[in-house]
Amino acid sequence: MTDLQFDKHAPSALRLHGLHKSFGRPAVDGLDLEVRRGELYALLGPNGAGKTTTLRMVTGLLAPDAGQVEVFGIDMARDPAAAKRRLAYLPDDPMLYGKLKPTEYLEFVAGLWGMRAEDAEPRAHRLLDWLDLTPHAHELSEGFSRGMKQKLALAGALIHEPELLILDEPLTGLDAAAARQVKDLLLSHVEGGGTVILTTHILEVAERLAQRIGIIRQGRLIAEGTLAELRERTQGGSLEDVFLQLTESR
């Protein structure tokens, strides 16, 4: 687990209350969750547990059947624009346009978030440099490898300096170097006061990066806490042991 410190009593960056979503059968079933400011929170669960559905409701892509999503105290249902302005979402499948070059993509995303040119341009250059995309800035992204696409999408997510960064399986398909870059970037975002929520199937990532871990199963939060707290609760060894014990025991 990371050594980053966070204030346990900090106000929440995200609060979910009684969240429900059903697609014929319940995908998210009365989920209550709170993520504090400046925290890196890992949301874990087996396939079909409701992780992605939860994140899509948090980002305003799906309307909950019931319950409430609050981003920095702003109700997503009441003022979605204000809530969305403070967050960024990076799904498993990067939201890119194959026929745009990286610079054009960042221009577009900056436009969507209403950034001023003088803020967006230096920030975009910094991100492209940071993620080693500058040499490819004149190429269409359709020819990029999976890792490069993911890094470009991450640059798009970070360009408006979101306070809350939400990532769904951000390390899927990345090589070791790219994965390291993304992990460093997430830690640096949290060190800078930002909040990160991520889902991952790579438990080692959650174990190393996350300050708190939530485990959901069948749309409900079944356990939450620091790695030490979860271990204590299950008398497990690694996070893998804890995870399997919790998700298979019910």
Interacting residue ranges for other proteins, rule: CB under 8 A: 59-61, 80-82, 84-85, 87-89, 91, 95-104, 106-117, 120-121, 124-125, 128, 134, 137-140, 143, 156
Cβ atoms of 195 and 164 closer than 8 Å: yes
- Containing 5, the helix (H) or strand (E) segment is none
- Taking the complex as a whole, the smallest distance from the CB of residue 21 to other proteins amounts, in Å, to 12
- Taking the complex as a whole, the smallest distance from the CB of residue 64 to other proteins amounts, in Å, to 13
User: Which C-beta is closer to other proteins: that of 66 or that of 97?
Assistant: 97
The burial of 166, by beta-carbon neighbours within 10 Å (0-12 exposed, 13-18 middle, 19 or more buried), is given as buried
User: Which C-beta is closer to other proteins: that of 10 or that of 82?
Assistant: 82
User: Which C-beta is closer to other proteins: that of 121 or that of 229?
Assistant: 121
Sheet order of strands, 25-36 included = 25-36, 12-23, 66-71, 74-75
User: Which C-beta is closer to other proteins: that of 73 or that of 237?
Assistant: 73
β pairing state of 220-225 and 66-71 = unpaired
- Taking the complex as a whole, the smallest distance from the CB of residue 103 to other proteins amounts, in Å, to 5
- Taking the complex as a whole, the smallest distance from the CB of residue 120 to other proteins amounts, in Å, to 4
β pairing state of 40-44 and 87-90 = unpaired
User: Which C-beta is closer to other proteins: that of 43 or that of 206?
Assistant: 43
Looking at the DSSP bridge assignments, the partners of residue 16 are 33, 69
- Taking the complex as a whole, the smallest distance from the CB of residue 4 to other proteins amounts, in Å, to 26
β pairing state of 66-71 and 12-23 = antiparallel
User: Which C-beta is closer to other proteins: that of 95 or that of 177?
Assistant: 95
The burial of 80, by beta-carbon neighbours within 10 Å (0-12 exposed, 13-18 middle, 19 or more buried), is given as middle
- Taking the complex as a whole, the smallest distance from the CB of residue 37 to other proteins amounts, in Å, to 20
Looking at the DSSP bridge assignments, the partners of residue 21 are 28
- Taking the complex as a whole, the smallest distance from the CB of residue 13 to other proteins amounts, in Å, to 16
DSSP for 118-167, written as a single string: HHHHHHHHHHHHHTT-GGGTTS-GGGS-HHHHHHHHHHHHHTT--SEEEE
User: Which C-beta is closer to other proteins: that of 66 or that of 117?
Assistant: 117
